[in-house]
Amino acid sequence: NAGVTQTPKFRILKIGQSMTLQCTQDMNHNYMYWYRQDPGMGLKLIYYSVGAGITDKGEVPNGYNVSRSTTEDFPLRLELAAPSQTSVYFCASSYSWGGGGNTIYFGEGSWLTVV
Amino acid sequence: KNEVEQSPQNLTAQEGEFITINCSYSVGISALHWLQQHPGGGIVSLFMLSSGKKKHGRLIATINIQEKHSSLHITASHPRDSAVYICAALISNFGNEKLTFGTGTRLTIIP
């Protein structure tokens, strides 16, 4: 049982490049989330999904896109990378919304620098 | 003002000391999570609380719904407890629920 696996761990992007952060969970959770963590700030929700084929914007969705073709996978796409997207990204999943009544599982994080 | 506030922001203590980290929130919640993040590492869930108290090893988490306050205690602290501790409240707002994170408490335990 691997939990939540996200890749890559580290990446340096040039301004204007695009990339995809991969996220996979093996717990059959319907709810999946992408957060970004900036210094001195609490985690902010970028996008979330309540099941395969269903995604929605969180608090800070601009410059990102997601898809959820399977229950297991929830990739995050950065289009036209900007320095403001330099951050640490976390994928998470849970059995119930926001982990109410249950545990939230997080990935190991992806450190992204845009130069 | 954040809906979820943690204190202190930074805490340094000697090995063996009893540690308390506080989390206050300003609105109604349905659950509160305590999370641990080691430097350069991922985030691990320690506790999920909706009422009362939970204990796991040397860690104890309590919540007082009426006072809108939760605490994380570490007994007999050890250098391996050095990490950032984050509380996250599942805030209820007009039928919607939003998970709101505190900014974290950086704990350093000195041998």
Amino acid B95: pLDDT: 73
Task: Check if A38 contacts B (Cβ < 8 Å).
Answer: no
Amino acid B40: pLDDT: 82
Amino acid A96: pLDDT: 87
Instruction: For residue range B58-94, list pLDDT tens digits in order.
Output: 999 999 999 999 999 999 999 999 999 999 999 987 7
| Model confidence at B1: pLDDT above 70 | no
Instruction: For residue range B26-38, list pLDDT tens digits in order.
Output: 888 989 999 999 9
Closest CB from A42, A101, A108 relative to B2? A42
Task: Check if B21 contacts A (Cβ < 8 Å).
Answer: no
Q: Which residues of B touch A50 (CB under 8 A)?
A: none
Q: Which residues of B touch A25 (CB under 8 A)?
A: none
Amino acid B28: pLDDT: 87
Q: Do A106 and B99 touch (CB under 8 A)?
A: no
Say if residues B97 and B88 touch (Cβ distance below 8 Å): no
Instruction: For residue range A30-68, list pLDDT tens digits in order.
Output: 999 999 999 888 999 999 999 999 999 999 999 999 999
Instruction: For residue range A86-104, list pLDDT tens digits in order.
Output: 999 999 999 988 888 789 9
> Minimal CA–CA distance to A109: which of B37, B35, B84, B10?
B37
Q: What is the distance of C-alpha A112 from the center of its chain?
A: 12
Q: Which residues of B touch A105 (CB under 8 A)?
A: 45
Say if residues B106 and A39 touch (Cβ distance below 8 Å): no
Q: Chain B, 25-84: which have a CB under 8 Å from a chain A CB? A: 30-31, 33, 35, 41-45, 48, 50
> How far apart are the C-alpha atoms of B91 and B85, rounded to whole Å?
19
| 3-state DSSP of B12-38 | EEECCCCEEEEEEECCCEEEEEEEEEC
Q: Which two tokens stand for residue A33?
A: 């989330």
Please, is A82 exposed, middle or buried when counting C-beta atoms within 10 Å of its C-beta (0-12, 13-18, 19+)? middle
Averaged pLDDT, B13-27: 96
Q: Which two tokens stand for residue A79?
A: 């289009």
